[in-house]
Structure 1
Amino acid sequence: MIVGVVRCECILFSAHSLKEKRSVVQSILRKAVHGHNLSASEVAYQDSWQHTELAFACVGSARSAVEHELSRALSLIDFRTEIERVHTIYEWF
């Protein structure tokens, strides 16, 4: 059993309120978990309107499958123009 966790710190340049930030963050989190073997959450900076930290976790029998799911989740962030990853940490258990 392989457990993979990726945490990424992000900046939202176009957010001018917590409501705008949460709209972007919730959209990413919903798309990440919908129909996939993945858990996702905003884990830090909930009260900051231009800063967030998102975490994605996946459990699988092969590391390649877990890496694929985690990279798919990160691509949801990378393809959006209103949010940018500034720091990413992978952890394996």
Structure 2
Amino acid sequence: MIVGVVRCECVLFSAHSLKEKRSVIQSILRKARNGHNLSASEVNDQDAWQKTELAFACVGTAKVAVERELTRALAMIDFHTEIERVNTFYEWF
């Protein structure tokens, strides 16, 4: 069994309120959970307007499959123009 976790520190330059930030974050998290073998959550900086940390976790039998799912989650972040990934950290268990 392989467990992969990816954490990303992100910046939302165009967010001027927590409501705008939540709209972007919830859209990404909802898309990541639907139809994918992922758990997704905002894990840090919940009260900051333009900063966040997102985490995605996946469990599987092969590292290649887990890595593919985590890469799809990161692609969802990169697809949105309102948010930019600053740092990305992988952990394997």
TM-score tier (shorter): over 0.9
Q: Displacement, 1:36? A: 1.1
Pair 1:33 & 2:33 matched: yes
Q: Deviations over 1:66-87 (max 9, x none)?
A: 0000000000001111000000
Q: Identity, % of aligned pairs?
A: 81
Pair 1:62 & 2:51 matched: no
- 1:20 corresponds to which residue? 20
Instruction: Give the RMSD, CA atoms, in angstroms.
Output: 0.3
Which whole-Å CA distance do the structure 2 matches of 1:38 and 1:77 have between them? 14
Q: Deviations over 1:41-72 (max 9, x none)?
A: 00000000100000000000000000000000
Letter in 1 for 2:52: T
Q: Displacement, 1:28? A: 0.1
TM-score, with structure 1 as normaliser: 0.99
Which whole-Å CA distance do the structure 1 matches of 2:10 and 2:49 have between them? 11
Q: How many residues of Structure 1 are paired with residues of Structure 2 in the alignment? A: 93
Unmatched tracts of structure 1, length 5 or more? none
- 1:51 corresponds to which residue? 51
Unmatched tracts of structure 2, length 5 or more? none
